[in-house]
């Protein structure tokens, strides 16, 4: 064996030499600050309401004022802060081989100093690690630890080619990472371990190392299953190591990605004690403002009331990164608003401690003001249960493995349905595709399936059972046309519910032609608001389906858009339905055989949005549990809380809602709220937590009504 080759036994022996542990008095102070961790059934992390992190840089040991930073977090009333260990660069005098010590450490135990400063203020600490990259010396000694390209070459990171991507299927994850965790446990008091950069958030890794070549093909459903098994195995391994020191400690990882997350979130929720929603800000051109809210709905769908935090980056996110420059304060404020409104715990993330509190300190006052406002209203801002009666199914398999037609994107369908739901001011939840059993979805009046193309036979059976119990459904485009592996069925898996059969492949427009039009055959509530027209624009792609009796809309096939002399329908009417509506017992079923929500998203067409909103209203029926009437573009949440209820209103009336950063807020006027109360409940007071003060309310026949006079960026009506 070569001298530089590190085997498992040598690696574990390298951790000898423990330093003294934190004092019992320090542990007591932390326990007191965060609640009684010995209380049965209530893990300490479920009491966490505020989190802060200075993501340390290699240069920070030279410039960071440790006590000043700890005082800042204490002034924000944060209960947890992350301290970098890391795995790429060591911030303490490590003895683990290949854990490179930072060039400016100078013999200091920088991690120990920062960790102690936080804990002396009663703030719990998370040991932050990063297992995704390592240096050339590790690659030379352990070539088996690293990802490989198809030609066998190692894969350097584009940001710094001195660092190489590690492989999650290698012994790097089972030898090197545990060695660092055990070294930290032997020397310090920490409350949890966290890995940044793993598992990957929104994509599956593609690696051609010797181990990965033996796995199913990358990008396949079979590979995803192997990937998920490895994630769960490592998660349990690391969690077990965390608990070697304390039964209340645990491990968690970097997550997020919204509906496009890489790991199976339903599976991960069975072992996850802390969901790290890494949605730090808008990620690129055309990203809508509601990314944090969407993440919150995803977290709630799989975790319920388990801890979910959302990382809000003070730094400038987007296609061009300025890591140590603060993004616009209104943009950051709205991201925090969405985090709180959607039921997550807010988490302020700052990178680098240059010059004390940093060269750019514009986040400092904002963070203190926001977190202190939240702390003063904690009881009203902690959700217990949702009141929504519409569930939107999201399919991770469809998001990862479905091949959309031509230039379409898998992500556009979810954004389109989200936009329509916001425009219609609906209260709704997300539902994971693996949570379709009646005991989970039976509480919803209606489920929406926005092109959930991949569904198993068992999932189709669950949806039939839901409809048989009186639940209503709206499905679009290729929903259920593929099984869970991505194999195309000969017909819809839900053809019996839809009342129609697929008769051929997806039909696409030719060149720049009109896709198709939907001819109005008869009046119906889904056509409310459409006057003075005989047809409506059809979405870009459609599945041809068999004729149905008494259709509301039928297909007028596409025709050229140019030259205008030829822009007229060759076939003015057909029997092919463009919308299928059915009522069976207490269930309403709507099937739209086209990509209406995606076409809405990429075109912004108002007719498509109105038709989609009307159809949602029809399937959901009358008597929704809450409604908000008024002008403006909003997103709303309504929660049951310990004091009563809370209605959150986010004001998206802004020219930068769909692109860029918010520069300022544009207030909207009166918002008239109606909330149906559970039997036997009453309301004594309605307070506005942002504007301050109580507002009048009325209570009749189990429904409370009140008016929010105006909303600048965000308002919370607390009903006690």
Q: Point out the domain boundary residue: 328, 354, 376.
A: 376
The tokens for 61 are 């040991």
Greater confidence (363 vs 236) lies with 236
Would the pLDDT of 305 be above 60? yes
Closest to 226 measured CA to CA, from 207, 210, 209, 212 = 212
Q: In this structure, what token pair is assigned to residue 235?
A: 């998660």
Answer yes or no: do 92 and 229 share one domain.
Answer: yes
Report DSSP state, residue 174: I
Quick one: pLDDT band at residue 683, thresholds 50, 70, 90?
A: very high
Domain check: are 610 and 633 in the same one? no
CA angle, 53 then 107 then 121, to 5°: 35
Residue where a domain terminates, one of 620, 643, 676:
620
- What band does 279 get if pLDDT is binned at 50, 70 and 90? confident
Cβ distance 677 to 702 under 8 Å? Answer: yes
Which pLDDT score, from 0 to 100, does residue 313 have? 86
Tell me what percent of the residues of the chain surpass a pLDDT of 90: 80
Place of tokens 């190489």: 164
Q: Is residue 589 part of a domain?
A: yes
Residue of 472, 417, 414, 463 lying closest to 440 (CA atoms): 463
- Domain match, 613 and 630 both: no
Residue 703 located in a structural domain: yes
Q: Which residue has the tokens 């802390």?
A: 274
pLDDT at 10 over 80: no
Lookup result for tokens 């204490």 = 74
Q: 3-class SS at 164? A: strand
Q: Are residues 166 and 268 in the same domain?
A: yes
Provide the domain limits for residue 30: 8-376
**pLDDT of 625 strictly over 60:** yes
2 within domain boundaries = no
Average pLDDT score, the chain = 91
Judge contact between 341 and 296, C-beta under 8 A. yes
Is the separation of the CB atoms in 77 and 368 below 8 Å? no
Considering the domain architecture, whether residues 394 and 249 belong to the same structural domain is answered as no
Distance (Å, whole) CA 367 – CA 54: 13
Question: CA-to-CA distance for 70 and 652, rounded, in angstroms?
Answer: 35
Nearest to 184 by CA among 231, 241, 102, 106: 241
Q: How far apart, in whole angstroms, are the C-alpha atoms of residue 392 and residue 429?
A: 6
Average pLDDT over residues 236-255: 95
Residue 382, domain member (yes or no): no
Whether residues 415 and 451 share a domain: the answer is yes
Helices (H) and strands (E) in the chain, counts: 20, 30
372-428 residue pLDDT tens: 999 999 999 999 999 999 999 999 999 999 998 877 777 899 999 999 999 999 999
How many domains is the chain partitioned into structurally? Answer: 3
| Structure confidence by residue, pLDDT tens digits, 628-679 | 999 999 999 999 999 999 999 999 999 999 988 999 999 999 999 999 999 9
Q: Give the SS3 label for residue 30.
A: helix
Q: How far is CA 143 from the centre of its chain?
A: 35
CATH number of the domain to which 698 belongs: 2.60.40.1180
Contact partners, residue 716, CB within 8 Å, separation at least 6: 341, 377, 380, 381, 646, 647, 648, 649, 688, 689, 690
Q: Which residues contact 513 (CB under 8 A, 6 or more apart)?
A: 558, 559, 560, 561
Residue 673 CA, distance from chain mean position: 27
Question: Same structural domain for residues 319 and 396?
Answer: no
In this structure, are 607 and 485 located in the same domain? Answer: yes
Residue 650: inside a domain, yes or no?
yes
**pLDDT over 50 at 21, yes or no:** no
User: Do the domain assignments include residue 3?
Assistant: no
The CA–CA distances, whole Å, from 25 to 122, 185, 440 equal 11, 18, 44
pLDDT digits (tens, 9 = 90+) for 64-113: 999 999 999 999 999 999 999 999 999 999 999 999 999 999 999 999 99
If asked whether residues 71 and 218 sit together in one domain, one would say yes
- Using CB atoms within 10 A of its CB, is residue 392 exposed (0-12), middle (13-18) or buried (19+)? buried
Distance, CA of 414 to chain centre: 12
CA Rg, the chain, in Å? 27
Model pLDDT for residues 111-166, shown as the tens digit of each residue: 999 999 999 999 999 999 999 999 999 999 999 999 999 999 999 999 899 999 99
Q: The CATH number of the domain where 26 resides is what?
A: 3.20.20.70
Q: Based on the fold, state whether residues 396 and 339 are members of the same structural domain.
A: no
What is the predicted pLDDT for the residue at 40?
Answer: 54
Residue 262 backbone phi and psi in degrees, to 5: -80, -50
Question: Does residue 536 form part of some domain?
Answer: yes
* Residue 218 near residue 131 (C-beta atoms within 8 A): no
Phi then psi dihedrals of residue 621, to 5 deg: 80, 180
Percentage of the chain beyond pLDDT 70 is 93
What is this structure's pTM?
Answer: 0.92
DSSP 176: I
Coil, strand or helix at 252: strand
pLDDT at 37 over 70: no
Does a structural domain hold residue 383? no
- Domain final position from 567, 599, 620: 620
Contact 344, 299 (CB under 8 A): yes
Residue 294 CB neighbours (<10 A)? 21
Residue 186 main-chain phi, psi, to 5 deg: -75, -20
Reduced to 3 states, what is the DSSP secondary structure of residue 556?
strand
Q: Are residues 637 and 494 in the same domain?
A: no
Q: Does residue 361 sit in the same domain as residue 509?
A: no
- At residue 198, φ and ψ (nearest 5 deg) are -150, 140
For residue 439, what is the domain's CATH number? 3.40.50.880
């Amino acid at each position: 064996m070569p001298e530089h080759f590190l085997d498992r036994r040598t690696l574990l022996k390298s951790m000898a030499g423990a330093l003294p542990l934190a004092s019992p008095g320090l542990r007591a102070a932390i326990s007191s600050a965060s609640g009684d961790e010995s209380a049965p059934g209530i893990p300490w992390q479920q009491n966490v309401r505020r989190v802060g992190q200075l993501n340390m840089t290699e240069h920070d040991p030279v410039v960071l004022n440790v006590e000043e930073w700890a005082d800042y977090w204490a002034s924000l009333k944060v209960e947890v802060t992350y301290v970098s260990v890391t795995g790429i660069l060591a911030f303490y005098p490590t003895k683990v081989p290949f854990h490179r010590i930072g060039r400016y450490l100078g013999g200091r135990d920088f991690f120990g100093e920062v960790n102690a400063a936080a804990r002396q203020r009663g703030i719990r600490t998370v040991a932050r690690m990063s297992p995704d990259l390592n240096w050339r010396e590790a690659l030379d000694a352990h070539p088996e630890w690293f990802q490989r390209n198809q030609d066998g070459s190692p894969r350097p990171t584009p940001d710094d080619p001195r660092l190489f991507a590690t492989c999650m299927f290698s012994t790097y994850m089972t030898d090197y990472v545990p060695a660092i965790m055990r070294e930290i446990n032997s020397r310090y008091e920490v409350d949890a371990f966290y890995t940044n950069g793993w598992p990957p958030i929104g994509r599956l890794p593609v690696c051609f190392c010797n181990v990965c070549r033996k796995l199913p093909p990358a990008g396949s459903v079979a590979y995803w299953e192997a990937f998920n098994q490895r994630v769960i195995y490592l998660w349990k391994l690391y969690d077990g190591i965390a608990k070697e020191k304390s039964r209340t400690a645990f491990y968690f990882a970097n997550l997020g990605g919204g509906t496009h997350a890489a790991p199976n979130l339903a599976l991960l929720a069975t072992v996850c004690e802390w969901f790290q929603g890494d949605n730090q800000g808008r990620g690129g051109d055309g990203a809508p403002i509601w990314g944090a809210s969407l993440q919150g709905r995803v977290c709630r769908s799989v975790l319920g009331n388990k801890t979910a935090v959302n990382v809000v980056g003070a730094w400038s996110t987007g296609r061009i990164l300025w890591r140590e420059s603060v993004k616009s304060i209104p943009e950051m404020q709205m991201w925090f608003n969405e985090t709180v409104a959607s039921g997550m715990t807010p988490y302020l993330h700052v990178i680098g401690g240059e010059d004390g509190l940093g060269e750019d300190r514009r986040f400092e006052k904002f963070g203190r003001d926001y977190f202190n406002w939240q702390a003063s209203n904690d009881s009203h801002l902690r959700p217990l249960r949702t009141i929504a009666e519409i569930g939107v199914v999201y399919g991770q398999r469809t998001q990862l493995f479905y091949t959309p037609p031509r230039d379409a994107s898998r992500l556009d369908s979810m954004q389109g349905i989200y936009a329509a739901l916001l425009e219609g001011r609906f209260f709704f939840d997300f539902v994971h595709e693996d949570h379709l059993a009646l005991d989970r979805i039976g509480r919803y009046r209606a489920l929406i399936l926005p092109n959930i193309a991949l569904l198993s036979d068992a999932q189709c059976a669950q949806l039939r059972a839901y409809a048989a119990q009186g639940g209503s459904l709206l499905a679009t485009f290729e929903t259920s046309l593929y099984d869970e592996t991505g194999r195309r069925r000969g017909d819809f898996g839900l053809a019996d519910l839809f009342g129609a059969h697929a008769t051929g492949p997806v039909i696409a427009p030719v060149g720049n032609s009109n896709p198709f039009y939907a001819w109005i055959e008869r009046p119906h509530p889904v056509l409310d608001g459409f006057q003075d027209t005989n047809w409506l624009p059809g979405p870009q792609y459609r599945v041809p389906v068999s004729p149905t009796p008494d259709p509301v809309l039928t297909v007028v096939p596409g025709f050229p858009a140019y030259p205008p002399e030829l822009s007229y329908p060759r076939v003015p009417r057909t029997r092919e339905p463009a919308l299928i509506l059915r009522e069976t017992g207490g269930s309403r079923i709507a099937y739209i055989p086209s990509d209406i929500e995606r076409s809405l998203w990429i075109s912004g067409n108002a007719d498509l949005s109105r038709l989609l909103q009307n159809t949602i209203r029809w399937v959901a029926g009358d008597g929704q549990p809450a409604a908000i009437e008024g002008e403006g573009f909003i997103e709303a949440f309504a929660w049951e809380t310990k004091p009563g209820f809370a209605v959150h209103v986010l004001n998206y009336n802004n020219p930068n809602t769909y692109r860029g950063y918010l520069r300022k807020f544009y207030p909207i006027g009166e918002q008239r709220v109606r909330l149906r109360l559970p039997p036997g409940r009453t309301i004594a007071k309605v307070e506005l937590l942002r504007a301050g003060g109580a507002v009048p309310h009325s209570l009749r026949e189990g429904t409370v009504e009140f008016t929010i006079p105006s909303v600048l960026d965000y308002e919370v009506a607390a009903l006690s």
